[in-house]
């Protein structure tokens, strides 16, 4: 059966001991089984503290990131590789089994032109050795296609599947996100059906990145498709109530997406849970 989780940005723009001590017990009280930890600066996380806190509240970690500006895979694959390798080690130490996000690019980076074969070749050079190390540790690496306003490299499930085939690592997956799919796919359901078992971990994001069920996402289509593909992975709600400045700038989030985190926890989590029950993704 699937698990329902929450991205840490609901509580804080960065994982700190204080913010984690607030977030993890609250996640557990709301019945969330997974918290996605941002690894924008992996070396800053107190791993023993995080592991103890997560274990005490029976919450599983996952992780996500985007590449730093000075570690751009398309121009410096070796630097991107080294950053990702460091993040993989931290993710493993935290107890994660999944590391996803924009693992192939700097968020918001665009050339103003279509992607090139040379860019894809550079991404393969950066990601393939990372996937090899991740497989040794039992981790899956996700590549998240984002909308055209955030990247020119991967916008759809089909593009990402093609790049995964080039990488050739069995533990690399499509990290689908309903916010981006709502813009780029012919239909959210169609995107999920195309990716099938190669998308075992997804982001649940409303059209305005706020409370699920209050925007224009066709959630019935999305969950019907997940049922069709026998989805049994993690569904992590991504509602950007708080964001670090560089991410807010890349995403152009300049106004509140929800009243506060309780708006998401009280309404959004319940809404997604009802749909997951309806389509028998959870019990």
Name the residues annotated as catalytic: 144, 238
Structure token digits, residue 199: 């998308």
CA–CA dist 44, 33 (Å, integer)? 24
CA–CA dist 64, 237 (Å, integer)? 13
CA–CA dist 38, 45 (Å, integer)? 10
Residue the block writes with tokens 């460091």: 86
CB 213 within 8 Å of CB 240: no
Structure token digits, residue 260: 């506060």
What value does the CA radius of gyration of the chain take, rounded to a whole number of Å?
Answer: 17
Per the document, the length of the chain is: 283
Calculate the alpha carbon distances from 155 to 7, 102, 237, 270 in Å. Answer: 21, 11, 20, 29
CA–CA dist 98, 161 (Å, integer)? 18
CA–CA dist 104, 147 (Å, integer)? 14
């Amino acid at each position: 059966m699937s698990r329902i989780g929450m991205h840490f940005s609901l509580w804080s723009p960065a994982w700190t001991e204080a913010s984690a001590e607030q977030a993890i017990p609250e996640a557990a009280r709301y019945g969330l089984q997974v918290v996605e930890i941002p690894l924008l600066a992996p070396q800053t996380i107190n791993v023993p503290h995080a592991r103890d806190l997560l274990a005490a509240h029976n919450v599983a970690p996952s992780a996500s990131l985007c590449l730093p500006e000075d570690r751009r895979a398309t121009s410096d694959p070796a630097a991107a590789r080294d950053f990702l390798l460091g993040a993989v080690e931290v993710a493993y130490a935290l107890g994660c089994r999944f590391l996803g996000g924009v693992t192939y690019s700097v968020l918001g980076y665009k050339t103003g032109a279509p992607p090139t074969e040379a860019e894809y070749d550079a991404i393969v050079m950066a990601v393939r050795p990372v996937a090899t190390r991740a497989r040794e540790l039992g981790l899956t690496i996700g590549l998240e296609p984002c909308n055209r306003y955030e990247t020119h490299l991967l916008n759809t499930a089909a593009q990402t599947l093609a790049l995964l085939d080039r990488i050739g690592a069995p533990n690399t997956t499509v990290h689908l996100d309903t916010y981006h799919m709502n813009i780029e796919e012919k239909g959210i359901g169609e995107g999920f059906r195309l990716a099938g078992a190669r998308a075992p971990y997804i982001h649940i994001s409303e059209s305005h990145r706020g409370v699920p069920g209050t925007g224009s996402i066709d959630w019935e289509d999305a969950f019907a498709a997940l049922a069709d593909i026998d989805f049994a992975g993690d569904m992590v709600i991504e509602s950007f109530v708080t964001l670090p400045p560089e991410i807010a700038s890349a995403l152009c989030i300049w106004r509140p997406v929800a009243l506060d985190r309780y708006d998401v926890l009280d309404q959004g989590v319940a809404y997604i849970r009802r749909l997951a029950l309806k389509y028998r993704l959870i019990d």
